[in-house]
Chain A
Amino acid sequence: MQTLLFLIVFPILVACLLLFVKRTTIRYAVVALSALAIGGASIYLLMRYAFEGAVYFAAPSGAIDLAMVAIEMGLALFIIYMGAKFRNYLAILLAVIQAALVVYLEMTFSGSLHAANNLFIDQFSIIMALIIGLIGSLIAVYAVRYMETYHHHHPEVRDRQTFFFFVTFVFLAAMFGLVFSNNLMWLFFFWEITTISSFLLIGYSETEEATKNAFRALVMNLLGGVAFVVAIVLLAATEPTSGGIDLARVLASPDAAVVLIPVVLIGFAGITKAALMPFSSWLLGAMVAPTPVSALLHSSTMVKAGVYILVRFSPVFAGTFAGFSIGLVGGVTFLVASAIAISRSDAKSVLAYSTIANLGLIAACAGVGTYMLVWAAILLIVFHAVAKALLFLGTGVIEQRTGSRNIEDMEGLIVRMPKMAVMMFIGIAGMFLAPFGMLISKWAAIEAFVQVPFGLIFIAILAYGSAVTVFFWAKWMGKLVTVTQNTERVEKGFFEESWAPLYIITGLVIAAVFLFPVISSMLIEPYVLAIYGVTAHLADANVAIMLLMMALLLILPVSFLLFKRTARHLPAYMGGRPATPDLHFAGSLGLTREAQTRNYYLTEYFGEAKLFRPGAAVCIVLILVSWILAGVAL
């Protein structure tokens, strides 16, 4: 239990320390050492608890419970203050409703607000802890140098770096707390901390747009928060059968019908936090924040909390129409967000839509909730976290170096920033190509949906969705590998230290493929087995083939040596006109003209304006249907 408490408390202590560190070099040292400690502790957690199944800890309550309620009230006051300052009355309203509900809960059901065990750890929590502890802290390390450069490039933004790192580490602590809590009151407390943290980080630059988007994120997540409290009230009111606020008891509750309504409400909170449609706009708006914030939100924290809770409760969703409906929300989100990604040229926007899509896919798996799908969902969480972190951090570096994060401007990156281009290449491959992780998970999802009644609808969604996915990733990859002639290298000059997190995460993307059989058999399969009594795994022969493909991919670049032999270099064909290698050709009237290449964005078919509203409308209907179905089941 000490390790658990360490992972929750230590980041908070570091956060407080960082409030007083003003110099970048010292901050770098502090953050790097803490990252090492946090990463080390999460690996220790893995070694200590991986083989023990679910372990529960009583953990002191009483005073802590009171402190949590006090902090929640304080946060509500803070939101009301901020809401009044920026005239966002919806935020105030939601904060007031939420605070009132918490007070009502404490007053009315104080007798049933006790969990036998407040903390726990099982294989799923270990996986989440590893993601938070490794990826999250690496992002924090990267952020130190990034933020220094950020302020260099944006002198107009008030330098609040101490505050920035304070919030970042509190965020990490809250995420640890969230995945270790067996007490739903505790879980909700950490849930709210992540909401506030992301609000503060998104609004970091204090521009009008940042503030607006921060409030949008806040309002949507508060809406989910309200649903969460209502769920806790319902659970507390039905404590004898539902299990009250004890997560383990709720999951094991014999009265599935009673539990279903609160769980669907918690699932709704998950949907808001995971930015599924129609709530995806908050995550897109979050792009205004400095890139490390996006990396955090998209890979290891925040949205992962949303899908964590969905996957955690998926045994309750399994086999219910309400759960199926939530799964469909995820499925529709996956399809629509992937399609919209085609029409985006801003790298961060593409990444954001791809995150939304993949969260949708995870939600689809969790909502339908058979054992194979839960297995696939956890795999998706792992692989997505690693690859997406790399892509965001890479985009951040490229933006700082070249001044643009437009994909069109990344043309020829392989020449200008070869190291960065290779890492981006690996990251993108990790998102959609065999034999990398995301593809393994999609494959597993297809195999799992085949065996579900009415699973065909998800198969269709996956078939179209993955085709669309190939299109938008491959054209981005194409831009990266375009060998432009006569362009200079601009890789040098970026602070040396920042490469370390990038190298490590790139290594993790590749290692995840090789370690995947181990991750699956050591962590995911025992977890699924413990819940469902059966478990899924990929056939050994297929694993071997995947590893073979990976090895082949790693060896293939050696073939470059073969091509070193003399070959005549010619300029590209330019309709027969005299041309130079850098795409200049002899035009009419003796003028030299330049040809340019641009990707297809097919806006007419896949534009946001065309697809977002219908997608959001369908998802709203599906969410309402899930509530009605949960009610009918009762």
Chain B
Amino acid sequence: MNWLIGAVLFLILAPIAGGLIAGIDRKITARMQGRVGPPLLQPFYDVGKLFEKERAVVTTAQNFYVLAYLIFIALSGALFFAGGDLLLIVFAFTLAHVFLVLGAYAVHSPYSHIGAERELIQVMAYEPMIILAAVGFYMVSGSFYVTEIAATTVPAILYLPGVFLGFAVILTIKLRKSPFDISTSHHAHQEIVKGITTEFSGSTLAQVEIAHWYENVFLLGFVFLFFAWNPVIGVVAVAITYLAEIFVDNVTARARWQAALKSGWLATLLGIANLAILSYMMLGGA
């Protein structure tokens, strides 16, 4: 029954944790920029307000795709915290993003169209690295199941430093942080209107935001797996990784999509090199 508890806890707590993380993120970002920053709970106020906005759509179909996006993001996160198969989780995750992209296509708007194309380029940039990270965990723990990866007593990070660095690069893409926030950004100063979410408003936009919270918690859980052999170090490492992402976000400007794609794919090469050395060592050891 542990798996069920994990899934349910994720579904209930992840939006809260995700919102808090977003609040902390905004606070730290503000401090880095020499501002005071909004209250910690500001993200919740924002989303709450979105739900009270007037319903306005370009086409009703957009609501359907965004809802499907939210549901499948939540589902893949729930599968992760239920200890499921990492590859299946990655694929469910991709499915979710395809729905978001389709929502942006459905509205037939120039700005969200560009956002959708750029989101797809992002998917193309990060997907190889995520698959590779899953394979890396398999090589260390002998299983694709999150339960067993998390239970392993081997410090995965020592075997997978290259994979971790590669994953950190694509984490920047996934968290929608500079320099790779090419499809939509949290920062007003580097936005072509609002990218993929241009035509989403009110409760639909709120759903996108909640899905993003779910997603962030899931991704941080993924980072945790690298350090799962020691939970204390794990939590600290996750916090440091996230702080590093905020720092990178604030010291870089948005890159071109070519740079995002190349970075994602080069990061994957780093991961492959890591795994190649690892499998060579395992062959030699056996």
Show the binding face of A for B, using Cβ within 8 Å.
411-412, 414, 433-434, 439, 443, 446-447, 450, 453, 456, 459-460, 462-464, 466-468, 470-471, 474-475, 477-479, 481-485, 539, 541-542, 545-546, 549, 552, 556-557, 559-560, 562-575, 581, 583, 595, 597, 599-600
Contacts and interface: CB of A to CB of B under 8 A. Distances in A.
Given A443-B87, A447-B87, A552-B71, A470 B272 contact: no
A414 B101 CA distance: 16
B268 A443 contact: no
Interface stretch (B14-22, B34-42, B117-125, B219-227): B117-125
Contact of B95 (A433, A453, A573, A600): A433
Contacts of A466: 127-128, 131
B54 interface: yes
B85 interface: yes
A450 B124 contact: no
A434 B91 CA distance: 6
A434 B128 contact: no
B198 A573 contact: yes
Contacts of B2: none
Interface stretch (B107-115, B210-218, B229-237): B107-115
Interface string B53-93: 01111111101110110011001000100001101100110
A412 B59 CA distance: 12
B131 A446 contact: yes
B123 A467 contact: yes
Contacts of B55: 565-568
Given A466-B127, A556-B68, A478 B116 contact: yes
Contacts of B127: 463, 466-467, 470
Given A481-B61, A481-B102, A450 B135 contact: yes
B265 A464 contact: yes
27 contacts: A453-B283, A456-B276, A459-B131, A460-B268, A460-B272, A467-B123, A467-B125, A467-B126, A475-B120, A478-B105, A481-B105, A483-B58, A483-B108, A485-B108, A539-B85, A541-B84, A545-B79, A560-B60, A560-B61, A569-B59, A570-B58, A572-B110, A581-B58, A583-B110, A597-B108, A597-B110, A597-B113
A615 B102 CA distance: 32
Nearest to B116: A478
B50 interface: no
Contact of B102 (A478, A484, A485, A545): A478
A545 B75 CA distance: 10
Contacts of B246: none
Nearest to A484: B108
Given A434-B92, A466-B128, 15 more contacts: A434-B91, A463-B129, A478-B101, A478-B102, A483-B107, A545-B84, A549-B95, A552-B72, A564-B60, A569-B57, A572-B109, A572-B199, A573-B198, A583-B109, A583-B110
B106 A481 contact: yes
A546 B265 CA distance: 29
A426 to B, nearest CB: 13
Top 5 closest A-B pairs, CB basis?
A: A572-B109, A478-B105, A467-B127, A463-B128, A434-B91
A622 B68 CA distance: 44
Contacts of A575: 193
Nearest to A467: B127
Contacts of B85: 539, 541-542, 545
Nearest to B269: A460
B121 A471 contact: yes
Contacts of A439: 91
B279 interface: yes
Contacts of B276: 456
A464 B128 contact: yes
Given A443-B88, A471-B120, A597-B110, A460 B132 contact: yes
A198 B112 CA distance: 44
A572 B120 contact: no
B276 to A, nearest CB: 6
A545 B88 contact: yes
Contacts of A411: 108
B247 interface: no
B110 to A, nearest CB: 5
Task: Report, as a range, how many residues of chain B touch the other chain.
Answer: 35 or more
Given A453-B283, A482-B108, A568-B54, A573 B193 contact: yes
Nearest to B258: A605
B94 interface: yes
B192 to A, nearest CB: 10
Nearest to B133: A463
Nearest to B79: A545
A459 B56 CA distance: 45
B105 A479 contact: yes
B144 interface: yes
Contacts of B131: 446, 459, 462-463, 466-467
B275 interface: yes
A627 B275 CA distance: 30
B61 A600 contact: no
B176 to A, nearest CB: 18
Q: Of residues A439, A478, A599, which shows the largest number of chain B Cβ atoms within 10 Å of its Cβ?
A: A478
Contacts of A571: 58
Contacts of B120: 470-471, 474-475, 600
A563 B91 contact: no
B132 A483 contact: no
Given A456-B272, A556-B71, A563 B123 contact: no
Interface in B232-286: 265, 268, 272, 275-276, 279, 283
Contacts of B198: 573
Contact of B98 (A474, A485, A542, A566): A474
B110 A470 contact: no
Contacts of B75: 549, 552
B139 interface: yes
A339 B190 CA distance: 30
B124 A446 contact: no
Q: In the complex, which of the residues B79, B117, B193, B276 has the most CB atoms of chain A within 10 Å of its own CB atom?
A: B117
B159 interface: no
Contacts of B84: 541-542, 545
Contacts of A471: 120-121, 123-124
B51 interface: no
Contact of A434 (B65, B94, B279): B94
A470 B98 contact: yes
Contact of A567 (B60, B88, B129, B268): B60
B262 to A, nearest CB: 10
B56 A568 contact: yes
Nearest to B202: A567
B138 interface: yes
A569 B58 contact: yes
A565 B55 CA distance: 9
B102 A477 contact: yes
B164 to A, nearest CB: 17
A595 B107 CA distance: 14
A251 B19 CA distance: 61
Contacts of A573: 109, 111, 193, 198-199
A556 B70 CA distance: 12
A563 B135 contact: no
B110 A595 contact: yes
A394 to B, nearest CB: 18
Contact of B88 (A434, A462, A482): A434
A462 to B, nearest CB: 7
Contacts of B268: 460, 463-464
Interface centre among B59, B106, B127 (most CB of A within 10 A): B59
Nearest to A556: B68
Nearest to B109: A572
B139 A450 contact: yes
A474 B99 CA distance: 9
A30 B276 CA distance: 58
Contacts of B95: 433-434, 549
Contacts of B56: 567-570
A323 to B, nearest CB: 19
